[in-house]
Amino acid sequence: MRFALRSTGNPRSQSSAPIPFHCLLLWRLYFLAAIFALEAVLVLGPLHIEPGFHLGVSPVAIVAFAVFLGLGHPWLKAQRERIPFGFIFFGGYLACVAAEICIHAVMALHGAGGGFSNAAVFATTAIFFFKVPLLALACVPLRLWIRMIRATSPLWFYACAAGVVSWSLLHPSWSLWTASSAGFGRVFQTATFASVQALLRLVRPDAVANAAAFSVESPRYLMEIAPSCSGMEGFGLILAFTSIWLWYSRKECRFPHVLLLIPCGLGLIWILNVVRLCALFLIGDAGNPEVADVGFHSRFGWIAFTAVALAFSMTTQRLSWVRKARSPVLSAPDGAPGGSSETAMVVREKLSQQQGESPAIRAYLIPFLAILAATFVSRAASGYFDRFYPLRFIAAAIALWYFWPELKKLNWRFGWIAPAAGAAVFLVWIAPAWWAHQQAASRLGADLAALSPAARWAWIGFRVAAAVVTVPIAEELAFRGYLARRFVSRDFDAVLFPSLTALSIGLSSVVFGLMHMQNMEDWQHLLVGTLAGLAYVLVLRSRGRMGDAVVAHAVSNLLLAAWVLGTGDWAQW
Amino acid sequence: MTKNLLKYSFVILSLALSSCTAAYGMAFKRLPEVDPSLAISGLTLLAGTLAVLRVRRKK
């Protein structure tokens, strides 16, 4: 399927003057999508607004937009015109969002209990139809929308058709989750239950299975397999990942051969889910129901998804049967059939040098990834209390020690501004709790008190050491050393810290804030995490030394540790 | 033509199914794995690992 994309003939597109990427058409469309995604997260999260109209429109809009961007990517990327940002339209959009929030606040205050009255539904729907065009016009002027639709025609039709297909699939796909006897979810639930029952019979033949209630029981533990626990989440996540990955690597993959890997991935995630449920039962039956229900239940799901996703991506890169053969030009650069293999190797070597990430990424990212991986493992093996927290410190310390020969080349010196910024971040971090004179509820203090004194102080020692040493180094390398500079250039290690842009500073700080959210409604940590990220990156930018950012981060964490241990405000940990 | 149609149809179907699933999960909050804080950590781990695996060879 090829689209005859017509040239726009725009004289300004011929200009050779460098244009900031955020003024280009493709990036404006990405920005449009990001704003809507952020709004959706806020609507469903901290603002506590009923999704209402968003819920019905979202799948259609997401699919239509993704198809338009995906199929029209070559044309959109080729547009080099500088696009002005419509601040007036953006102001109108923000006013619409504010009006929407006000309507919901008024409804909540006047006895509607947060629900919708007919007037509120009408008003918010009307606002929705106002704000979408306003944001669209703020990002891209009307004349460019018209030109884009004309130039990419009939792409708009395919995108809309894809959206309608998604709409028609909305309710059938929801029915997959229903537990009614007629629902597809029941078929999935039955198959998963039968598999778990068969597998458990091998190791616990005395476990009692109740097919009517989809439960497996022993004297010490009862496990019920709900429809949502029967592997549908894994199917959804793997389908999303594989489709995005195949799109990303479409030029390297051989179609339709590579599509056969999809059912393999789905089958693998389903088998791992059966293994997860069996292990869950065995952990609970062994006398650790809290570990089974709280830690293992969801963490192992993510571990399994990550493992399958990595296996899928590695297979698409390594298995020659699903990889696209090199083009004749590349395999025989001298033009002769089966030309000089030596020259072809040189061409491939040059290509592999141009593509992919900078080799320096390993030293910057692996310590942080080690912490994340250790967190999943330690939390999967714990209940409410993360008794294996020292694993995070050890994993990060090993990674940092391994990459230290590369990392020691960075400038680790620091000045007085670093501890001052760290202290300021600490004050901002604890300000909400200090202002409210109220400590959030936390089980950590009671869980620590239940340990022996030696175990308690060992745990606290590792917690403080991680907060002050390994976490600041690993997070600063990942967020400031890599991510902030990666937003500027693919060769991030060639970007000097003082040349970080406002966009890279802002985006990396928001990602840092997102990483500190503890749940969907935790807007407080999102906000203070973002502010902390901004402070650290600004210190780094002003001095140009990694040491300043790390020391600022370490001082914040050290003061926070002192606050927690001094006041018993365990929720801050 | 057939291959491309198959390829695009698959991508559209997958996006439709996964967006429906995500919309369901976000609306009803029944899914522990779709909990945003866990999802952010999991996706960061996956994206970071994929980025490290796609490192180019040294010149």
Mutate to test the interface with A, among B28, B29, B31, B58 (most CBs of A within 10 A): B31
Asked if B18 has any chain A CB less than 8 Å from its own CB, the reply is: yes
Out of A237, A250, A357, the one facing B51 most closely (by C-beta) is A357
Minimum distance, in Å, between the CA of residue B34 and any CA atom of chain A: 8
Minimum distance, in Å, between the CA of residue A84 and any CA atom of chain B: 31
Q: Match 């250039």 to its residue by tokens.
A: A489
Q: For chains A and B, what is the number of CB pairs under 8 angstroms?
A: 198
Minimum distance, in Å, between the CA of residue A415 and any CA atom of chain B: 31
Cβ contact, residue pair A236, B17, below 8 Å: yes
Q: Which residues of chain B are within 8 Å of residue A299 when distances are taken between CB atoms?
A: 38
Minimum distance, in Å, between the CA of residue B18 and any CA atom of chain A: 5
pLDDT tens for chain A, residues 1 to 573? 444 444 444 444 445 566 777 788 888 998 888 888 777 766 665 555 555 556 566 667 877 888 888 788 888 888 888 888 888 999 999 998 888 888 877 777 665 555 556 777 777 778 888 888 999 999 999 999 999 989 988 888 888 888 888 777 777 766 665 555 556 667 788 889 999 999 999 988 888 888 888 899 988 899 988 877 788 778 888 988 898 888 888 888 888 888 889 999 999 999 999 999 999 999 999 988 888 888 888 889 889 999 999 999 999 988 988 888 765 544 444 444 444 555 555 555 555 555 678 889 999 999 999 999 999 999 999 888 888 999 999 999 999 999 999 999 999 999 999 999 999 999 999 887 777 766 667 788 888 888 899 999 999 999 999 999 999 999 999 999 999 999 888 889 899 999 898 888 998 998 999 888 877 667 788 889 999 999 999 999 999 999 999 999 999 999 999 999 988 888 887
Mutate to test the interface with A, among B1, B20, B26 (most CBs of A within 10 A): B20
Report how far residue A166's alpha carbon sits from residue A170's, in angstroms, rounded to the nearest whole number.
Answer: 6
Report how far residue A335's alpha carbon sits from residue A315's, in angstroms, rounded to the nearest whole number.
Answer: 31
Cβ contact, residue pair A237, B18, below 8 Å: yes
Token pair of A184, please?
Answer: 């597809």
Q: Which residues of chain A are within 8 Å of residue B24 when distances are taken between CB atoms?
A: 173-174, 177
Q: Which residues of chain B are within 8 Å of residue A309 when distances are taken between CB atoms?
A: 46
Report how far residue A569's alpha carbon sits from residue A134's, in angstroms, rounded to the nearest whole number.
Answer: 45
The pair phi, psi for residue A210, each rounded to 5°, is -115, 105
State pTM to two decimals. Answer: 0.76
Closest CA to A233 of A276, A180, A287: A276
Neighbours of A86 (CB within 10 A): 19
Mutate to test the interface with B, among A60, A298, A371 (most CBs of B within 10 A): A298
Asked if B47 has any chain A CB less than 8 Å from its own CB, the reply is: no
Report how far residue B15's alpha carbon sits from residue A453's, in angstroms, rounded to the nearest whole number.
Answer: 53
